[in-house]
Structure 1
Amino acid sequence: MNEAHPTGMDPSTLSLPSRLHRLLEPVCRGFSLAGGLVLVALIIMSLISLVGRKLFATPIRGDMELMEMGAAIAIAAFLPLCELHGRHIKADAFTLWAPARVNRRLDIFAHLLMLLAASLLLWRTFLQMQDNMEYGDVSTLLSVPMWIPMMLLLPSLLLLALAALARILDLLKIGREETAAAAQQGVQA
C-alpha cells in the first residue's frame, strides 16, 4: 500500500528518519504498550468493582481515585508515540491547497509548540510533585501520596518533548533534501 506522506513527497524517495527518531521509536512503543497494559488493568479493576458493587455491595475502595491516576498515566504514555509519528489530530482544511513546503513549515511550527507545551508540562509537573512531597499531599480515600502518580507522568512528558524534537529534525531533514534535489535538477536542466 503506497500511502501519501504528510509532506506530499513520495515515501519511497524519503531518507531514513533522524538518529534521534530511530533511538526513540522502541522506547515510545514500549511506553505505549505499558500505557495499554495500565488501561487493561483499570478496565479489569472497574469491572470487579462494578460486579462487587451490584452483587455483593462491596466495591473496590477508591476505585475512582485509581481510575483517575491510572488513566492520566496511561494517556501520557501514549502521547510520545503519537507525536513521533505525527499522528495527532490536524485541522488542515485551510492548508490542503498549500504546497508541501508550506505545510512542512506549519508542521514544524506545530511540533515546536508541542515541544514547548511538553517542556512546560514537564517542568510544572516536576514542581508540583516536589510540593506534594514537601507538604505530604495524599488522595482522599486511599491516602496515596500524590507525588507518586506525578512522578510516573514525568518520563512520558520528557519522552513527548524528545519526540517533538525528533519530529522537527525529521521535517528539517526532509526540507534540506528537497532543496538539494531541486538544486540538483536545476543544475541538470
Structure 2
Amino acid sequence: MLQRSAAVYGASLSQSATEKGQKYNLQQVAIRNRFPPWAPHIRNEILPQKTLPTRLFSRSSVTFFVINAQNCWQTAHRPPSTMNQLGRYLDMGVLKGRGRGNMHRAIRAIAQSTAILGGLVLTALIVLTCVSILGRTISTLAHAPFLETTVQGFATWLQQSGVGSVNGDFELLEAGVAFAIFAFLPICQLHGAHATVDVFTNFLPQRINRYLIAFWECVLAAVIVLITWRLFAGLQSKYAYGETTFLLQFPVWWAYAASFAAAIVASVVAVYCAIMRVSSALTGRGSTHAIGGSTQ
C-alpha cells in the first residue's frame, strides 16, 4: 500500500513537472522569436535552453526529483548580474559565437602576416649590416701599412675594387628597424608577450587579476593608438616638406608610411585584445593568459 501511494505521488509530481517544463519551453521559444534571425548566437547566449527534468527515475527517488526540479526552475529564472550582462553585450556580434571565431582568425592572420613581413625586413637588414661591416673591414685592411709593404699589388687591387661599407646603410637601418618594431607589435599584443612583473599579482584572486589585466590592456591600447595618431601627423609633415635622407636621398615619408601601416594593424589588434580582456573581466569567463592561443 505504501509503495502504491509513493508511485501515485511520484507520477503526479512527474506530470506537474512535465507541464511546467513544457510551459517554460514555450515561454523560451516566444522570447527567442523576438530576437532577429541573423543573430542566433545572441539568443543562445542571453536565453540558454534549460528544460526541467520530466522523468521519475525510480519510486525511491521522489525527494531527489522534487529538489532537482526546484533547483532547475530557480536557476532558469535567476536574473544575471548587471556586470555579467554588460560583458555579454560587449561580447556580442562579431565577438561571439561563429562571428567571434572568424574575427579572431582574421586578427590572428593579420598579426602573423605583419610579423612575417617584419621578420623578412629584419633579416634583410641583418644581411645588409653584415655585408657593410665586412666591406668596411676589407677596405680598412687594404689601406693597412703592413699590407701595402708586403703585398703591394694585392693591396692596390683591393683599393681599386671599391670594396667598402654599403652606402647609406645607417639610413636603411633606421627606416627598416622602425618598421620592424611596429610590425612585431600586433603579434606581441595578441600573445601577451610584453614584459610583465607579476610578483605581487600572483597572490591575488583570479577575478582581480582579470580586472588588472583588462585595465593595463586598455592603457596599452590607448598608448598604441596615440602613437599611431602622432605617427600619421609626422607622415603628413614629412610629405608636405619633401624631406629626404642625406646619402641615399630617398623621401623620409616613405619610412613613416611603412611604419604607419604597421601601426594601424597594431592599433586594431590592441583594441581587439582590450575588448576581449574587458569582456573576460566582466563575465568571469576566459583565461588570464594570452588571447592568441584560442579561438573560443
Contact 1:114 1:161 in 2 (8 A): no
Matched, 1:84 2:190: yes
Say if 1:31 and 1:18 are closer, same or farther in 2 by CA, change over 3 A.
same
Q: What SS does structure 1 have at the residue aligned with 2:201?
A: coil
Deviations 1:45-83 (A, max 9, x none): 111111111114521011011111111111110011110
- Note the aligned Cα RMSD (angstroms): 2.0
1:96 to 199, 202, 215: 202
Greater mean deviation of Cα atoms: 19-28 or 76-85: 19-28
How many residues end up aligned between the 2 structures? 165
Mapped to 2, the partners of 1:58 and 1:161 lie a distance apart of: 41
Say if 1:155 and 1:127 are closer, same or farther in 2 by CA, change over 3 A.
same
Other-structure match for 1:115? 221
Q: Which has the larger radius of gyration?
A: 2
User: Quick one: which amino acid aligns to residue 152 of structure 1?
Assistant: A
Contact 2:232 2:260 in 1 (8 A): yes
Matched, 1:137 2:256: no
2:111 to 16, 23, 28: 28
The Cα shift of 1:94 comes to 2.0
Mapped to 1, the partners of 2:119 and 2:112 lie a distance apart of: 10
Matched, 1:42 2:125: yes
Mapped to 1, the partners of 2:196 and 2:208 lie a distance apart of: 15
Quote the sequence identity (%). 32
Mapped to 1, the partners of 2:240 and 2:115 lie a distance apart of: 31
Contact 1:111 1:168 in 2 (8 A): yes
User: Quick one: which amino acid aligns to residue 76 of structure 1?
Assistant: F
Matched, 1:55 2:138: yes
Misfit runs of 4+, over 6 Å? none
Contact 2:221 2:274 in 1 (8 A): no
The Cα shift of 1:157 comes to 1.2
Stretches of structure 2 lacking an aligned partner (at least 5 in a row): 1-96, 140-162, 286-296
User: Quick one: which amino acid aligns to residue 142 of structure 1?
Assistant: L
**Higher RCO (C-alpha under 8 Å, 6+ residues apart):** 1
The Cα shift of 1:174 comes to 2.8
Other-structure match for 2:276? 170
Mapped to 1, the partners of 2:218 and 2:235 lie a distance apart of: 25
The Cα shift of 1:112 comes to 0.9
**TM-score normalized with structure 2 length:** 0.52
**TM-score normalized with structure 1 length:** 0.80
Mapped to 2, the partners of 1:171 and 1:117 lie a distance apart of: 16
The Cα shift of 1:173 comes to 3.4
Contact 1:84 1:163 in 2 (8 A): yes
Q: What SS does structure 1 have at the residue aligned with 2:195?
A: coil
